[in-house]
Structure 1
Amino acid sequence: MPLPAKVATYDVADLRETPGEELLFLEPGGVRILSLSKPQEQNELIAIEGATTRRCARREALYGEFIREASTLFGDAFEHDLDDPAKLVNLYAIVNKIRLFGEPETLEEAERVMQRIGETYFAPNKDLAAFSDIRHARDLDPLCAFSIVCRKELAIARR
């Protein structure tokens, strides 16, 4: 039986009180027990949280926080001038966390989003009706490229 990549296999002699009839597979996502005496049994993957899972969870939370904050600010910038620079402080803090934990390409996109928000605050205010033309949705979504890069980064980190 060929083994998947990145899997370690162990014979577990006394797991089910029948020596030599179980194999334990250590996989990137957890542990799988295979019964050789009862191959028809469902062999579930028992997820075990490890360092990789925690890193991915931390990045997912961080990127979600960035998306929420940036979306709020972009919506505000669309209709208002920057009357209080303190509005941007939380976004700057989140970008610096991305600088600590994220990949360079993700940081680059986060900085682009931050720049775009700043430009939008200093541009003439726009009418909300501009959102109705779906052909320009990409222009109105400064987070699209950031989200794509995050998805790529997290998919690679989970391997």
Structure 2
Amino acid sequence: MDASLISGFAALAGAAIGGLTSATAGWLSQRYTAHAQWVANENLRRLDIYRDFIETASKCYIHALQHDEPDISGLVGLYTNISRMRVLSAAEVVEKAEQVAQRILDTYTEPDRSFAELRSMARNHAIDLLYDFSNACRLEHEHYRRRQL
């Protein structure tokens, strides 16, 4: 075999291997970037649902503390958010959200609270209905953030 042919084949093989390596690196980089963007978007979707749930639950809870008649539209919004969580969230977060909703429903059956009672509840942190739910959300958020890195 001629030395010039061997050199030509070596050059072609080197170029092919270099091109393949470059293409593979580009594909892997694109795949990683797409996955990171997807994880970030999913996290933002969850955070939006949690924000909406916290706002709705807070309004429903204060209404339940002061009224016997339930705020039906508020409760529907609350359960809508829980259903959205079932699609995206960890089971523990959904469970804590359901506990919040149940506590709100139970509060409607209790006597109305006066301002003095509400103030006392706030001082004793008894009014913080969303504590366990918020912690579950934070833990889930940290889990997904670690996964994204």
Is TM (by shorter chain) over 0.5? yes
Distance across 2 between alignment mates of 1:96 and 1:80:
26
What residue identity is the alignment partner of 1:136?
N
Give the structure 2 partner of residue 155 of structure 1.
142
Instruction: Show the counterpart of 2:112.
Output: 125
Which aligned pairs between 1:10-159 and structure 2 lie closer than 5 A? 50-133=37-120, 134-137=122-125, 139-159=126-146
**Cα drift, residue 132 of structure 1:** 2.3
Q: CA deviation at 1:95?
A: 0.6
Find the residue that maps to 2:45 and give its secondary structure.
Answer: helix
Separation (CA, whole Å) in 2 of partners of 1:91 and 1:114: 7
Highest RCO, 1 vs 2 (Cα 8 Å, sep ≥ 6):
2
TM (norm. structure 2) is 0.70
TM-score normalised over the length of structure 1? 0.65
Q: Which has the larger radius of gyration?
A: 2
Q: Relative to 1, partners in 2 of residues 1:110 and 1:50: Cα closer, same or farther, differing over 3 Å?
A: same
- Give 1 or 2: higher strand fraction: 1
Pairwise CA RMSD: 2.1
Aligned residues: 114
**CA displacement at 1:149 relative to structure 2:** 0.5
5+ long unaligned stretches in structure 2: 1-28
Structure 1 gaps, min length 5: 1-25, 31-47
Relative distance call for 1:84 and 1:75 in structure 2 (3 A) is: closer
